Amino acid sequence: MFEQLRGPVQDLPRHARIRRSGDRVQGVFVLLRGWVFSSVELPNGQRQILKVHLPGDILGAPSIVLPRAMETLSAATLVTVAPVPLSAFGVLQAEAPRLMASLFLSSQQERVMLSDRLAAVGRTPAAQRFAALLLQLHDRLAGPATGTVSLHVPLTQEDFADLLGITSVHVNRILRQLLSAGLILRRQYDYTFDPERLREFSGMPRREWIRNPAWLYPAPGQA
Q: How far is the CB of 150 from a second copy (least distance, A)?
A: 27
**Which of the choices DNA, a second copy, none does residue 169 contact, using the CB cut-off of 5 to 8 A by kind?**
DNA
List the alpha helices (DSSP H) in the chain: 2-5, 87-95, 97-123, 126-142, 157-164, 168-180, 195-202
Q: How far is the CB of 35 from a second copy (least distance, A)?
A: 19
Footprint of DNA on 164-223 (CB under 7 A) = 165-170, 172-176
**Which of the choices DNA, a second copy, none does residue 31 contact, using the CB cut-off of 5 to 8 A by kind?**
none
Residues that bind a second copy (CB under 8 A): 40, 42-44, 46, 48, 50, 61-68, 70-71, 86-90, 93-94, 97-98, 100-101, 103-105, 107-112, 114-119, 121-124, 164-165, 203, 207-210, 213-216, 218
Closest CA to 108 of 216, 221, 33, 19: 216
Q: How far is the CB of 207 from a second copy (least distance, A)?
A: 7
For residue 49, CA distances in Å to 39, 40, 172, 215 come to 4, 6, 18, 34
Q: Is 54 in the site for DNA (CB under 7 A)?
A: no
**Which of the choices a second copy, DNA, none does residue 158 contact, using the CB cut-off of 5 to 8 A by kind?**
DNA
Give 33 or 170: the residue with its C-beta nearer to a second copy: 170
The CB density around residue 222, as the number of other CB atoms within 10 Å, is 6
Cα distance between residue 52 and residue 35, in whole Å = 7
Closest CA to 126 of 183, 168, 186: 168
Q: Is 40 in the site for DNA (CB under 7 A)?
A: no
Task: Give the contacts of 136 (CB within 8 A, at least 6 positions apart).
Answer: 113, 204
Footprint of DNA on 86-125 (CB under 7 A) = 125
Give 80 or 139: the residue with its C-beta nearer to a second copy: 139
Q: How far is the CB of 53 from DNA (least distance, A)?
A: 18
**Which of the choices DNA, a second copy, none does residue 121 contact, using the CB cut-off of 5 to 8 A by kind?**
a second copy
**Per-residue three-class SS string for 137-183:** HHHHHHCCCCCCEEEECCCCHHHHHHHHCCCHHHHHHHHHHHHHCCC
